Structure 1
Amino acid sequence: MELYESEIIELKEIYTTDLKKEIVSFANTNGGTIYIGVQDNGTIVGVDHADFVIQQIANSIRDSIRPDISMFTSIELLKDENKSYIKVTVDSGTKKPYYLSDKGLKPTGVYVRRGTTSAPASEDAIRMMIKMTDGDSFETNRSLIQELTFNSLSKEMERRKLEFTGVQMKNLGILSSDGIFTNMGLLVSDQCRHSIKFAVFQGTDKLVFKDRKEFTGSLFEQLAEVYKTIDFYNGTMASFHDLLRTDERDYPEDAVREALLNAIVHRDYSFSGSTFINLYSDRLEFISLGGLVPGLSLEAAMLGASQSRNEKLANLFYRMKLIEAYGTGISKIISCYKGKSEQPVFESVEGAFQVILPNVHARNLSMEDAKYLPILQLFEYKKEITRSDVETVLGSGTTHAINIVKEMLDKSLIEKVGNGRLTRYVRK
């Protein structure tokens, strides 16, 4: 029999552990045959201790390659005169990409056949194989990162007295049926690659940053930290009716919670970009990638219709009692603003969905005057303020603070009391 190397034939003079790379490459491409005990020129030299080598190959296939490729491989002992050599037949697998278990789903672990060599696959090629095998659902696709931990999620599950075992991980879609972490697992793991970016701007535009943060880690950790940060900036206005004091937040807490949950649960995670939350003096914006699920109109969503893009993630949030029922988020946000002069705005464009919550205490100010709101909010805590207070809240220098105070005096938003070092300002 004449043997020569090709795209579907590999010749090995001796067995080495690198054989598993060839097996992976054939399984990920069009299949092929490996002969061990045959030189590159096709000369059969045979294999010593062939039975032992066959056992090594079988163990390597079983222990070093994932998903299980055993059913797509066969090992035969062949004879040529008085020489024994081994034939390993590898069929094209149905669960591509196959990879070396100690390397993972990355180029160093995934190989494809190119001509007579086995070459590392690119990340794009790996993603394409995953999509072709697992389908279009991002959640159920195998994660490119398999070294995952779940400290944040396990703590949240423990707080709610919910089990978090290997069986539960499969039921929740974190693990596939054959024990491989999915993208759902990646999202709720401590290694989640998606983030939320939060920015605070002075006034009603993006000209001046006051603060910015980026939140990473498990989606549950991001949820808790982002809500805590928004709560810190969510001012309170006190009002009195007779002797009864009423405190009202700038942004209704339930509306903030629902908008944040919506941005996390329903965004399209096949996009690598961050979710954005922007706080201005007159509004709070939530911008998530992906827009509405195709076929679902904004009008239908506002009526309560729901089609979850991330069903497994939504089910987990529901199970953890973070969301009550599908399709209620928008209606809850609207109900939080019932009777208010300003109403929330929902916008869906190709590739993004935006929720805008108006600051309920900015309603008596014009859009032009909304930039003064951070200063006016100082009067919630003080009867009188100083120029130094204005500098602090605006994060600005003396000259800018003086100009802002003068504008507010001219607009009769505040009134000056005293002179010189004793100058104070009160709310008109």
Structure 2
Amino acid sequence: MSRYIESETIELKEEYTDTITKEIVSFLNSAGGSIIVGVKDDGVEKVDEILRKISDIITTKIEPNPQDEISSELKFDEGKTLIVIYINKRHHHIYCQKKYGFSSTGCTIRIGTTCKEMTPEQIKIRYEKKFIDNEYMLKKRSNSLDLSFRELKIYYSEKNYHLEDKSFETNLNLRNEVEEYNLLAELLSDKNNIPFIL
């Protein structure tokens, strides 16, 4: 196991701990990387349980949902089982631990071999870039599949514009290439879950 060396893109864990959530967020907000769990004499024990915990982190504890950016696999090294979590590199966007929200505690970044809290200014800049990036807004699938646009229609009506039910979603680019609602649609919907930082 000595050939594994911690670096800016590799985090070594002797065993699973809840700090993995913070470390995943840090990699998502940085250049990406890998977390190798089980770098100890016996490797990973209770593999199924730990894989379930990692899956739970990815699907419920990070905002926005990073499922498209993360994968994991089992590796076998000299009779020991390792779990490797791969986190893709992201540009301009920002992730947080849900329980802390988009605060310095919730938004961490990888610097060297450690996780550091982002400053409020860094968070604001990243958040603004996320919404300026039109390609991301138009291509990324909405977190909700059931959206309504009553308030948007009222707004357009007050400005003397009429939105046709059959065409306004296409005209306003509210669906991605595979006809799913995108983040722009979620932002403009009656009940959106996209937080704003002022």
TM-score normalized by structure 2?
0.68
Q: 2:173 maps to what in 1?
A: none
User: Does 1:52 pair with 2:49?
Assistant: yes
**What is the identity, as a one-letter code, of the residue corresponding to 2:72?**
I
User: Does 1:108 pair with 2:109?
Assistant: no
Q: What aligned pairs does 1:201-240 form with structure 2 within 5 A after superposition?
A: none
In the alignment, the residues of structure 2 paired with residue 5 and residue 45 of structure 1 have an alpha-carbon distance, to the nearest angstrom, of 19
Instruction: Structure 1: give runs of 5+ residues left out of the alignment.
Output: 141-167, 187-428
Q: 2:6 maps to what in 1?
A: 5
User: Does 1:73 pair with 2:70?
Assistant: yes
**What is the identity, as a one-letter code, of the residue corresponding to 1:181?**
P
Give the conservation status (yes or no) of the 8 Å contact 2:187–2:194. Answer: no
Determine which of 180, 193, 196 is the counterpart of 2:194: 180
Provide the secondary structure at the position in 2 that maps to 1:107: coil
**What is the identity, as a one-letter code, of the residue corresponding to 2:123?**
I
Change (3 A) 1:169 1:54: closer
Give the conservation status (yes or no) of the 8 Å contact 2:62–2:95. Answer: yes
Deviation at 1:25, TM superposition (A): 0.3
Deviation at 1:117, TM superposition (A): 0.2
**What is the identity, as a one-letter code, of the residue corresponding to 1:104?**
G
Give the conservation status (yes or no) of the 8 Å contact 1:13–1:45. Answer: no
**What is the identity, as a one-letter code, of the residue corresponding to 1:182?**
F
Instruction: Structure 2: give runs of 5+ residues left out of the alignment.
Output: 138-184
In the alignment, the residues of structure 2 paired with residue 99 and residue 55 of structure 1 have an alpha-carbon distance, to the nearest angstrom, of 20
Q: What aligned pairs does 1:11-160 form with structure 2 within 5 A after superposition?
A: 11-39=12-40, 45-93=42-90, 96-135=93-132
Q: 1:371 maps to what in 2?
A: none
Provide the secondary structure at the position in 2 that maps to 1:38: coil
Q: What aligned pairs does 1:288-299 form with structure 2 within 5 A after superposition?
A: none
**Identity across the alignment (%):** 33
CA deviation map 1:163-190 (0-9, x unaligned): xxxxx98535773xxx22235xx7xxxx
Greater relative contact order structure (CA < 8 Å, 6+ sep) = 2
**What is the identity, as a one-letter code, of the residue corresponding to 1:171?**
L
Deviation at 1:49, TM superposition (A): 1.1
In the alignment, the residues of structure 2 paired with residue 45 and residue 85 of structure 1 have an alpha-carbon distance, to the nearest angstrom, of 10
Runs of 4+ in 1 over 3 A off after TM superposition: 168-174
Provide the secondary structure at the position in 2 that maps to 1:33: strand
In the alignment, the residues of structure 2 paired with residue 116 and residue 85 of structure 1 have an alpha-carbon distance, to the nearest angstrom, of 20
In the alignment, the residues of structure 2 paired with residue 118 and residue 130 of structure 1 have an alpha-carbon distance, to the nearest angstrom, of 19
- Of the two, which has the highest radius of gyration? 1
In the alignment, the residues of structure 2 paired with residue 136 and residue 69 of structure 1 have an alpha-carbon distance, to the nearest angstrom, of 17
In the alignment, the residues of structure 2 paired with residue 116 and residue 94 of structure 1 have an alpha-carbon distance, to the nearest angstrom, of 20
Q: 2:148 maps to what in 1?
A: none
CA deviation map 1:375-395 (0-9, x unaligned): xxxxxxxxxxxxxxxxxxxxx
Change (3 A) 1:133 1:120: same
Deviation at 1:81, TM superposition (A): 2.7
Task: Number of aligned residue pairs: give it.
Answer: 149
